[in-house]
A and B are shown apart, each in its own frame.
Chain A
Amino acid sequence: MKQTGENYEEISTEDLKRLSKQAEKEAAPSAGRIIWNEFKADRPALIALVIVVAFILFVVIASLFINTSKMMETNILDYFDAPFKDGFLLGADAGGRSIAQQLIVGSRNSIGIALGLTVISSTFGIAWGLISGYFGGFVDWGMQRVYDFMMMLPMTMMIIVIVTIINNYNAVTLTLIFSCFYWLGTSRLIRSRTLAESKKDYVAASITSGTNPWKIIFREVMPNISSLIIVDTTLSFAENIGVETGLSYLGFGLPAQTPSLGTLIANANDPNNITEYWWTWFPAALEIIILCLAISYIGQVARRAADSSQRKSNK
Chain B
Amino acid sequence: MSLIEINNLKVHYPIRSGFFNRVTDSVKAVDGISFNIEKGQTYGLVGESGSGKSTTGKSVVGLEKVTSGSILYNGVDITSEKNRKKLNYNRDVQMIFQDSLSSLNPRKRIEDIIAEPLRNFEHLSKNEEKMRVLRLLDIVGLSVDALYQYPHQFSGGQRQRIGIARAVATNPKLIVADEPVSALDLSVQAQVLNFMKKIQREFGITYLFISHDLGVVRHMCNNIAIMNKGRLVEVGSRDDIYNHPLHIYTKRLLAAIPQIDVDHREEHREKRLQIEKIYQEQSSKYYDQNGLAYPLVKVSSMHSVALPPQEAKKYSEKEVEV
Q: Which residues of A contact B (CB under 8 A)?
A: 1, 3-5, 7-8, 11, 13, 16, 19-20, 22-24, 26-28, 200-202, 204-211, 220, 223-224, 226, 308
A sample of 28 cross-chain residue pairs with beta-carbon separation below 8 angstroms, ordered by A number, consists of: A4-B135, A4-B139, A4-B168, A8-B138, A13-B127, A16-B127, A16-B134, A19-B147, A20-B144, A23-B147, A23-B148, A24-B148, A26-B148, A27-B149, A201-B102, A202-B104, A204-B95, A204-B97, A205-B163, A205-B166, A208-B63, A208-B94, A208-B95, A209-B117, A210-B121, A211-B116, A224-B105, A224-B106
Which residues from chain A contact B130 at a C-beta distance below 8 Å? 16, 20
Q: From B120, B127, B136, B152, give the contact of A209 (CB < 8 A).
A: B120
Tell me whether A201 and B99 are in contact in the complex, defined as CB-CB below 8 angstroms, given that A23-B145, A206-B116, A209-B166 are known contacts. yes
B85-105 residues at the A interface, CB under 8 angstroms: 88, 90-91, 93-95, 97-99, 102-105
Q: Any chain A CB within 8 A of the CB of B61? A: yes
Contact A20 B120 (CB under 8 A): no
Given A4-B171, A220-B105, A224-B106, also A308-B134 (CB < 8 A): no
A111–B222 CA distance with the chains assembled, in angstroms: 69
- Is B58 in contact with chain A by the CB < 8 A criterion? yes
Tally of contacts, chain A with chain B, CB under 8 A: 113
A11 with B148: in contact, given A202-B103, A209-B117, A209-B166 (CB under 8 Å)? no
**Nearest neighbor of B95 in chain A, beta-carbon distance:** A208
Q: Which residues of chain B have C-beta atoms less than 8 A from A8's C-beta?
A: 135, 138-139
- Decide: A202 near B116, CB < 8 A? Known: A3-B203, A209-B166, A210-B121: no
B120 touches A211 (CB 8 A): yes
In the complex, given contacts A7-B202, A201-B103, what are 16 additional A-B residue pairs having Cβ atoms less than 8 angstroms apart? A1-B122, A16-B134, A28-B150, A201-B98, A202-B103, A204-B58, A205-B95, A205-B97, A205-B166, A208-B61, A209-B117, A210-B88, A210-B117, A220-B108, A224-B105, A224-B106
CB contact under 8 A between A23 and B144, given known A4-B132, A208-B94: yes
- In the complex, whether B62 has a CB less than 8 A from a CB of chain A is yes
A208 to chain B, nearest CB (A): 5
- How far apart are the CA atoms of A64 and B121 in the complex, in Å? 54
The residue from B58, B105, B122 contacting A206, defined by CB atoms under 8 A apart: B105
Q: What is the distance, in angstroms, from A122's C-beta to the closest C-beta of chain B?
A: 20
Q: Does B107 contact A (CB under 8 A)?
A: yes
List B contacts of A201 (CB < 8 A): 97-99, 102-103
Report if B170 contacts A (CB, 8 A).
Answer: yes
Answer yes or no: B153 CB below 8 A from chain A CBs. Answer: yes
B positions within 8 Å CB-CB of A: 58, 61-63, 88, 90-91, 93-95, 97-99, 102-109, 116-117, 120-122, 127, 130-132, 134-136, 138-139, 144-150, 152-153, 163, 166, 168, 170-171, 202-203
* Residues A223 and B138 in contact, CB atoms below 8 Å apart: no
In whole angstroms, what is the CA distance A206 to B301 when docked?
Answer: 40
Would you give the shortest CB distance from A132 to chain B, in whole angstroms?
16
Tell which of B94, B130, B131 has the most Cβ of chain A within 10 Å: B131
> How many Å from the CB of B321 to the closest CB on chain A?
47
Q: Please, how many angstroms separate the alpha-carbon atoms of A19 and B63 in the complex?
A: 36
Chain A residues closer than 8 Å to B146, beta-carbon distance:
23
Bound-state Cα–Cα, A204 to B60, Å: 13
* Chain A residue with the shortest CB-CB distance to B58: A204
Contact of B147 among A4, A20, A202, A209 (CB under 8 A): A20
Taking the nearest CB of chain A, how far is it from the CB of B26, in angstroms?
A: 16
Q: What is the CA–CA distance of A308 and B107 in the complex, to the nearest angstrom?
A: 11
